[in-house]
Amino acid sequence: MKVEQIAVFLENKSGRLAEITNVLAQNNINIRALSVADTADFGILRLIVDKVDEAKKVLKENGFTVGKTNVIAVEVPDRCGGLAGVLKTIEAAGINVEYMYAFVNKSGENAVLIFRFDDMDRAIAALQKDRFIILSGEQVCAL
C-alpha cells in the first residue's frame, strides 16, 4: 500500500511555511505528517494531508510549486529497535532509503515511519514478508 504525499518547493525566507499552512487551514485540509529538508536557499516541504488533490490544487493556485509522490507508511511499536528492524529488512533486500520521517501515534504505543525507497514495490514485498504493518493513506489520516 502506498500513501500519496505532496512535496512543496519552499523558498528559505521568513513566513513561507506559515503561508503554506494558512492556505491549507483556510481550505479545511488537515496535515497528518510533515518533514522539511532545507539548504541555505530553499527547502522541500513534504506533507501527508487528508485531501491530497485539493491541497495540491489550492497550493498551486496560491503560487507554490507542488508535486505528488508515493511513500510507504510502516507502523512499528514505539520502542527501542522499531526503526532498526525495518531497516534490517530493507538492507537485506538490497533496497535504498531515499528519505524518511516519522511520527508517534500515542506515546508508548506505535510509531509511524514514512519512507521513500528506490524500489517501492520490492520494499513493500520485503516488509510484508517480514510481517511489518503497512498503512494506507486513509489509515494514516485516521490516526
What string of pLDDT tens digits covers the 143 residues of the chain?
899 999 999 888 888 889 999 999 999 999 999 999 887 778 899 999 999 999 999 999 999 999 999 999 999 988 889 899 999 999 999 999 999 999 887 656 889 999 999 999 999 999 999 999 999 999 988 87
Question: Based on the structure, what is the number of domains in the chain?
Answer: 2
The reply to whether 63 and 109 lie within a common domain is: no
DSSP 8-state class, residue 50? S
Which CATH number fits the domain that encloses residue 105? 3.30.2130.10
Considering 46, 69, 92, which residue would you say is the last residue of a domain?
69
pLDDT of residue 37: 87
pLDDT of residue 68: 95
The reply to whether 40 and 97 lie within a common domain is: no
- Angle 40-45-47 from CA coordinates, rounded to 5°: 165
The reply to whether 44 and 92 lie within a common domain is: no
pLDDT of residue 108: 60
The reply to whether 124 and 80 lie within a common domain is: yes
The reply to whether 77 and 133 lie within a common domain is: yes
The reply to whether 63 and 75 lie within a common domain is: no
Predicted structure pTM score: 0.89
pLDDT of residue 16: 87
C-alpha cell at position 77: 511499536
> Containing domain of residue 104, as a range?
70-142
pLDDT of residue 38: 80
